[in-house]
Amino acid sequence: MGLIARPQPDAAVLDSVRLVARHLEKHGLQVVFDDPTGVALQVEPKLCVSREQLAQACDLLVVVGGDGSLLGVGRDLSHTQIPVLGVNRGGLGFLADIAPDQIEAQLSQVLAGQYLIEEHFLLDAWVMRNGEQLVRSPALNDVVVHPSSVARMLEFSLYVDDEFVYDQRSDGLIIASPTGSTAYALSAGGPIMHPSLDAIVIVPMFPHTLTSRPIVVGGGSKLRITLGDAGYPTAKMVCDSQIRQEFVVGDEVHIAKYEHSLRLLYPIEHSFYESCRSKLDWASRLGGKS
Protein backbone atom coordinates (compact mmCIF):
# COMPACT_ATOMS: atom_id res chain seq x y z
CA MET A 1 0.00 0.00 0.00
CA GLY A 2 1.22 3.49 -0.84
CA LEU A 3 0.94 6.59 1.33
CA ILE A 4 1.14 10.21 0.18
CA ALA A 5 0.77 13.29 2.39
CA ARG A 6 0.01 16.74 1.10
CA PRO A 7 3.05 18.93 0.36
CA GLN A 8 4.68 20.48 3.44
CA PRO A 9 2.49 18.51 5.86
CA ASP A 10 1.81 19.91 9.32
CA ALA A 11 1.72 17.88 12.54
CA ALA A 12 -1.99 17.01 12.19
CA VAL A 13 -1.48 15.62 8.68
CA LEU A 14 1.54 13.57 9.77
CA ASP A 15 -0.42 12.18 12.72
CA SER A 16 -3.10 10.98 10.30
CA VAL A 17 -0.47 9.47 7.99
CA ARG A 18 1.03 7.54 10.94
CA LEU A 19 -2.44 6.31 11.95
CA VAL A 20 -3.14 5.09 8.40
CA ALA A 21 0.26 3.37 8.26
CA ARG A 22 -0.23 1.61 11.61
CA HIS A 23 -3.70 0.46 10.61
CA LEU A 24 -2.50 -0.95 7.31
CA GLU A 25 0.41 -2.72 8.99
CA LYS A 26 -1.99 -4.15 11.57
CA HIS A 27 -3.77 -5.82 8.65
CA GLY A 28 -0.47 -7.35 7.55
CA LEU A 29 0.12 -4.96 4.65
CA GLN A 30 3.45 -3.50 3.56
CA VAL A 31 3.41 0.32 3.53
CA VAL A 32 5.57 2.41 1.19
CA PHE A 33 5.76 6.22 1.10
CA ASP A 34 6.45 8.72 -1.63
CA ASP A 35 9.78 10.49 -1.11
CA PRO A 36 8.55 13.80 0.42
CA THR A 37 6.21 11.99 2.84
CA GLY A 38 8.95 9.58 3.92
CA VAL A 39 11.36 12.45 4.54
CA ALA A 40 8.75 14.30 6.63
CA LEU A 41 8.12 11.16 8.71
CA GLN A 42 11.82 10.26 8.90
CA VAL A 43 11.18 6.65 7.86
CA GLU A 44 13.79 4.30 6.46
CA PRO A 45 14.98 5.36 2.97
CA LYS A 46 14.24 1.88 1.60
CA LEU A 47 10.52 2.54 2.23
CA CYS A 48 10.55 5.75 0.16
CA VAL A 49 10.15 5.86 -3.62
CA SER A 50 9.00 8.31 -6.28
CA ARG A 51 5.28 8.70 -6.96
CA GLU A 52 5.59 6.86 -10.25
CA GLN A 53 7.36 3.92 -8.55
CA LEU A 54 4.79 4.00 -5.77
CA ALA A 55 1.93 3.58 -8.24
CA GLN A 56 3.73 0.75 -10.03
CA ALA A 57 4.50 -1.15 -6.80
CA CYS A 58 1.24 -0.74 -4.86
CA ASP A 59 -2.36 -1.94 -5.12
CA LEU A 60 -3.85 1.15 -3.45
CA LEU A 61 -2.78 4.71 -2.73
CA VAL A 62 -4.00 6.54 0.36
CA VAL A 63 -3.65 10.33 0.07
CA VAL A 64 -3.81 12.36 3.29
CA GLY A 65 -4.53 16.03 2.65
CA GLY A 66 -7.15 18.14 0.96
CA ASP A 67 -8.73 18.05 -2.47
CA GLY A 68 -5.68 19.91 -3.81
CA SER A 69 -3.51 16.94 -2.93
CA LEU A 70 -5.81 14.63 -4.88
CA LEU A 71 -5.74 17.00 -7.85
CA GLY A 72 -1.97 16.62 -8.01
CA VAL A 73 -2.14 12.84 -7.63
CA GLY A 74 -4.81 12.67 -10.33
CA ARG A 75 -2.66 14.58 -12.80
CA ASP A 76 0.50 12.63 -11.93
CA LEU A 77 -0.83 9.10 -11.62
CA SER A 78 -4.21 8.66 -13.33
CA HIS A 79 -2.42 7.02 -16.28
CA THR A 80 -1.38 4.14 -13.97
CA GLN A 81 -5.05 3.38 -13.11
CA ILE A 82 -4.14 2.73 -9.47
CA PRO A 83 -7.13 3.18 -7.10
CA VAL A 84 -6.84 6.19 -4.78
CA LEU A 85 -8.45 6.72 -1.37
CA GLY A 86 -8.53 10.21 0.15
CA VAL A 87 -8.34 11.16 3.83
CA ASN A 88 -9.50 14.75 4.29
CA ARG A 89 -7.08 17.03 6.11
CA GLY A 90 -8.00 20.10 4.10
CA GLY A 91 -11.11 22.20 3.56
CA LEU A 92 -14.33 21.00 1.92
CA GLY A 93 -13.17 17.52 1.05
CA PHE A 94 -15.35 16.73 -1.97
CA LEU A 95 -12.72 14.27 -3.23
CA ALA A 96 -10.98 13.33 0.02
CA ASP A 97 -14.02 11.98 1.82
CA ILE A 98 -12.74 10.16 4.95
CA ALA A 99 -12.67 12.32 8.09
CA PRO A 100 -9.65 11.96 10.44
CA ASP A 101 -11.79 10.46 13.23
CA GLN A 102 -13.15 7.80 10.84
CA ILE A 103 -9.82 6.55 9.50
CA GLU A 104 -9.70 3.20 11.28
CA ALA A 105 -13.39 2.28 10.80
CA GLN A 106 -13.67 3.29 7.16
CA LEU A 107 -10.23 2.02 6.17
CA SER A 108 -11.21 -1.35 7.64
CA GLN A 109 -14.36 -1.35 5.48
CA VAL A 110 -12.34 -0.63 2.35
CA LEU A 111 -9.82 -3.36 3.15
CA ALA A 112 -12.74 -5.78 3.66
CA GLY A 113 -13.95 -5.01 0.14
CA GLN A 114 -16.80 -2.72 1.18
CA TYR A 115 -16.22 0.30 -1.04
CA LEU A 116 -17.42 2.18 -4.09
CA ILE A 117 -15.29 3.09 -7.11
CA GLU A 118 -15.92 6.30 -9.03
CA GLU A 119 -14.22 6.99 -12.34
CA HIS A 120 -13.42 10.71 -12.60
CA PHE A 121 -12.32 11.79 -16.05
CA LEU A 122 -9.70 14.50 -16.49
CA LEU A 123 -9.33 17.25 -19.05
CA ASP A 124 -6.32 17.47 -21.34
CA ALA A 125 -5.12 21.01 -22.12
CA TRP A 126 -2.33 22.29 -24.34
CA VAL A 127 -1.16 25.52 -25.98
CA MET A 128 -0.11 25.65 -29.65
CA ARG A 129 2.05 28.38 -31.20
CA ASN A 130 2.85 28.32 -34.91
CA GLY A 131 2.24 24.57 -35.00
CA GLU A 132 4.44 23.90 -31.97
CA GLN A 133 3.12 22.61 -28.65
CA LEU A 134 4.31 24.80 -25.75
CA VAL A 135 2.94 22.92 -22.75
CA ARG A 136 0.48 20.11 -22.10
CA SER A 137 -1.14 19.08 -18.83
CA PRO A 138 -4.13 17.10 -17.59
CA ALA A 139 -6.55 18.75 -15.16
CA LEU A 140 -8.92 16.94 -12.83
CA ASN A 141 -11.01 19.99 -11.89
CA ASP A 142 -10.74 22.68 -14.50
CA VAL A 143 -8.80 24.64 -17.06
CA VAL A 144 -9.06 28.41 -16.62
CA VAL A 145 -8.13 31.05 -19.18
CA HIS A 146 -7.66 34.50 -17.64
CA PRO A 147 -5.62 37.69 -18.14
CA SER A 148 -1.96 37.76 -17.19
CA SER A 149 -2.66 40.95 -15.23
CA VAL A 150 -5.43 41.64 -12.73
CA ALA A 151 -8.38 43.88 -13.60
CA ARG A 152 -7.97 43.31 -17.33
CA MET A 153 -10.53 42.07 -19.84
CA LEU A 154 -9.85 39.47 -22.51
CA GLU A 155 -11.29 39.23 -25.97
CA PHE A 156 -11.32 35.67 -27.29
CA SER A 157 -13.09 33.27 -29.61
CA LEU A 158 -14.45 29.85 -28.60
CA TYR A 159 -14.84 26.87 -30.92
CA VAL A 160 -16.36 23.47 -30.05
CA ASP A 161 -15.48 20.63 -32.43
CA ASP A 162 -14.18 23.30 -34.85
CA GLU A 163 -17.59 24.99 -34.90
CA PHE A 164 -17.58 28.66 -33.95
CA VAL A 165 -19.52 29.33 -30.72
CA TYR A 166 -18.91 33.04 -29.93
CA ASP A 167 -16.54 35.93 -29.56
CA GLN A 168 -16.51 37.21 -26.02
CA ARG A 169 -15.13 39.99 -23.86
CA SER A 170 -14.82 38.90 -20.24
CA ASP A 171 -12.42 38.24 -17.38
CA GLY A 172 -11.86 34.76 -18.75
CA LEU A 173 -13.36 31.33 -19.15
CA ILE A 174 -13.59 28.25 -16.91
CA ILE A 175 -13.75 24.84 -18.56
CA ALA A 176 -14.60 22.24 -15.92
CA SER A 177 -15.10 18.50 -15.70
CA PRO A 178 -18.01 17.15 -13.62
CA THR A 179 -15.51 16.78 -10.77
CA GLY A 180 -14.59 20.46 -11.05
CA SER A 181 -18.18 21.66 -11.33
CA THR A 182 -18.31 22.04 -7.53
CA ALA A 183 -15.10 24.08 -7.43
CA TYR A 184 -14.25 27.37 -9.19
CA ALA A 185 -16.98 26.89 -11.80
CA LEU A 186 -19.63 26.77 -9.07
CA SER A 187 -18.41 30.06 -7.61
CA ALA A 188 -18.71 31.62 -11.08
CA GLY A 189 -22.35 30.55 -11.44
CA GLY A 190 -21.92 27.20 -13.17
CA PRO A 191 -24.14 24.15 -12.62
CA ILE A 192 -23.44 21.29 -10.24
CA MET A 193 -22.79 18.14 -12.29
CA HIS A 194 -22.90 14.58 -10.99
CA PRO A 195 -19.44 12.93 -11.25
CA SER A 196 -20.83 10.17 -13.46
CA LEU A 197 -21.81 12.58 -16.26
CA ASP A 198 -19.88 12.50 -19.52
CA ALA A 199 -19.96 16.25 -20.03
CA ILE A 200 -17.88 19.42 -19.86
CA VAL A 201 -19.14 22.79 -18.64
CA ILE A 202 -17.96 26.12 -20.08
CA VAL A 203 -18.46 29.03 -17.65
CA PRO A 204 -17.74 32.66 -18.65
CA MET A 205 -16.14 34.82 -15.97
CA PHE A 206 -17.95 38.16 -15.67
CA PRO A 207 -18.81 38.43 -19.38
CA HIS A 208 -19.55 41.86 -20.86
CA THR A 209 -23.09 40.78 -21.77
CA LEU A 210 -25.99 39.62 -19.64
CA THR A 211 -26.92 36.79 -22.03
CA SER A 212 -23.63 34.89 -21.95
CA ARG A 213 -24.44 31.87 -19.78
CA PRO A 214 -22.70 28.57 -18.92
CA ILE A 215 -22.84 25.92 -21.64
CA VAL A 216 -22.69 22.16 -21.08
CA VAL A 217 -21.25 20.12 -23.97
CA GLY A 218 -20.57 16.42 -24.46
CA GLY A 219 -17.55 14.88 -22.77
CA GLY A 220 -16.05 13.96 -26.13
CA SER A 221 -16.09 17.56 -27.37
CA LYS A 222 -12.88 19.28 -28.43
CA LEU A 223 -12.58 22.93 -27.43
CA ARG A 224 -10.36 25.61 -28.94
CA ILE A 225 -9.81 29.13 -27.63
CA THR A 226 -8.01 31.88 -29.55
CA LEU A 227 -7.04 35.23 -28.06
CA GLY A 228 -8.22 38.33 -29.93
CA ASP A 229 -6.05 41.37 -30.49
CA ALA A 230 -8.60 43.94 -29.27
CA GLY A 231 -8.32 42.98 -25.60
CA TYR A 232 -5.36 42.39 -23.32
CA PRO A 233 -2.55 40.87 -25.47
CA THR A 234 -1.45 38.10 -23.10
CA ALA A 235 -3.33 35.55 -21.05
CA LYS A 236 -2.71 32.47 -18.92
CA MET A 237 -3.97 28.91 -19.11
CA VAL A 238 -4.16 27.42 -15.62
CA CYS A 239 -4.82 23.73 -14.87
CA ASP A 240 -6.28 22.95 -11.44
CA SER A 241 -4.85 26.27 -10.14
CA GLN A 242 -1.47 24.52 -10.07
CA ILE A 243 -0.03 24.38 -13.63
CA ARG A 244 0.30 27.70 -15.51
CA GLN A 245 1.26 28.68 -19.05
CA GLU A 246 1.19 32.15 -20.56
CA PHE A 247 0.02 32.57 -24.15
CA VAL A 248 -0.36 35.50 -26.56
CA VAL A 249 -2.43 36.65 -29.53
CA GLY A 250 -2.19 34.05 -32.29
CA ASP A 251 -1.77 31.08 -29.92
CA GLU A 252 -4.45 28.43 -29.51
CA VAL A 253 -5.59 26.73 -26.30
CA HIS A 254 -6.93 23.23 -26.92
CA ILE A 255 -8.97 21.28 -24.37
CA ALA A 256 -10.38 17.74 -24.67
CA LYS A 257 -11.04 14.72 -22.50
CA TYR A 258 -7.85 13.12 -21.17
CA GLU A 259 -7.28 9.51 -22.19
CA HIS A 260 -7.10 8.28 -18.58
CA SER A 261 -9.43 8.67 -15.59
CA LEU A 262 -8.79 8.78 -11.86
CA ARG A 263 -10.20 5.80 -9.96
CA LEU A 264 -11.36 7.11 -6.57
CA LEU A 265 -12.38 4.72 -3.79
CA TYR A 266 -15.03 5.71 -1.25
CA PRO A 267 -16.59 4.02 1.80
CA ILE A 268 -19.70 2.05 0.89
CA GLU A 269 -22.05 4.67 2.39
CA HIS A 270 -20.62 7.54 0.32
CA SER A 271 -23.21 9.71 -1.41
CA PHE A 272 -22.53 12.65 -3.74
CA TYR A 273 -25.79 14.29 -2.67
CA GLU A 274 -24.95 13.93 1.01
CA SER A 275 -21.60 15.57 0.28
CA CYS A 276 -23.44 18.47 -1.34
CA ARG A 277 -25.79 18.76 1.62
CA SER A 278 -23.03 18.75 4.21
CA LYS A 279 -20.32 20.69 2.37
CA LEU A 280 -22.48 23.26 0.57
CA ASP A 281 -24.93 23.74 3.47
CA TRP A 282 -27.95 22.69 1.44
CA ALA A 283 -31.21 23.10 3.37
CA SER A 284 -29.40 23.94 6.57
CA ARG A 285 -32.43 26.01 7.51
CA LEU A 286 -35.79 25.55 5.84
CA GLY A 287 -37.72 28.04 7.93
CA GLY A 288 -40.35 27.42 10.54
CA LYS A 289 -39.11 27.14 14.10
CA SER A 290 -35.75 28.78 14.68
Catalytic residues: 67
Kindly report the number of other CB atoms within 10 A of residue 274's CB atom.
12
φ and ψ of 91, to 5 deg: -95, -105
φ and ψ of 71, to 5 deg: -60, -45
* 117 neighbors 265 (Cβ within 8 angstroms): yes
Q: Which residues contact 159 (CB under 8 A, 6 or more apart)?
A: 165, 223, 224, 225, 226
Question: Using CA of residue 157, residue 163, residue 164, residue 170, what is the dihedral sign?
Answer: negative
Instruction: Please report, for residues 32, 136, 147, 253, 271, the alpha-carbon distance to residue 228 in angstroms, rounded to integers and kept in the order given.
Output: 49, 22, 12, 12, 43
